[in-house]
Amino acid sequence: MRLKRLLAKAGRVGRLKAGGSQDWLSHKGGVLLLLGALALVGCRQDMQDQPRFIPLRPSGFFDDGRSERPLIDGTVARGHLNDDVALNTGKGPDGKPLDTFPFPITKEVMARGQDRFNIYCTPCHDRTGNGNGMVVRRGFRHPPSYHTDQVRQLENGYIFDIISNGFGAMPTYAAQIPVRDRWAIVAYVRALQLSENASVNDVPAEDRGKLGGAQ
The C-alpha angle 109, 178, 189, rounded to 5 degrees, equals: 45
The confidence score (pLDDT) of residue 13 equals 46
pLDDT band at 16 (very low <50, low <70, confident <90, very high): very low
- Over residues 69-122, the pLDDT tens digits come to 777 776 766 665 555 888 999 998 888 999 999 999 999 999 999 999 999 999
Confidence of residue 24 (pLDDT cuts 50, 70, 90): very low
Return the axis-axis angle of helices 107-120 and 179-197, rounded to nearest 10°: 90
| pTM strictly above 0.85 | no
Exposed / middle / buried, residue 95 (Cβ in 10 Å: 0-12, 13-18, 19+) = exposed
SS3 content of the chain, % helix, strand, coil (to 5): 50, 5, 45
Please give the DSSP secondary-structure letter assigned to residue 97.
B
Give Cα 60 to chain centroid, integer Å. Answer: 23
pLDDT at 18 over 60: no
3-state secondary structure of 70: coil
CA 170 to centroid of chain Cα atoms: 17
pLDDT band at 22 (very low <50, low <70, confident <90, very high): low
Predicted confidence at residue 46, as pLDDT, reads 61
CA angle, residues 97, 183, 112, in degrees to nearest 5: 165
Rounded to whole angstroms, the Cα distance separating 101 from 193 reads 16
The whole-number pLDDT of residue 126 equals: 95
Q: Which of 16-20, 61-65, 86-90 has the lowest mean pLDDT?
A: 16-20
pLDDT score, position 19: 47
pLDDT tens-digit series, residues 26-55: 556 666 666 666 665 555 566 667 777 777
Top CATH class, 85-204: mainly alpha
Question: For the chain, which residues make up each domain, given as ranges?
Answer: 2-41, 85-204
In the predicted structure, residue 187 carries a pLDDT above the cut 90: yes
d(CA 144, CA 136): 11
Q: What sign results for the dihedral spanned by CA atoms 136, 90, 184, 154?
A: positive
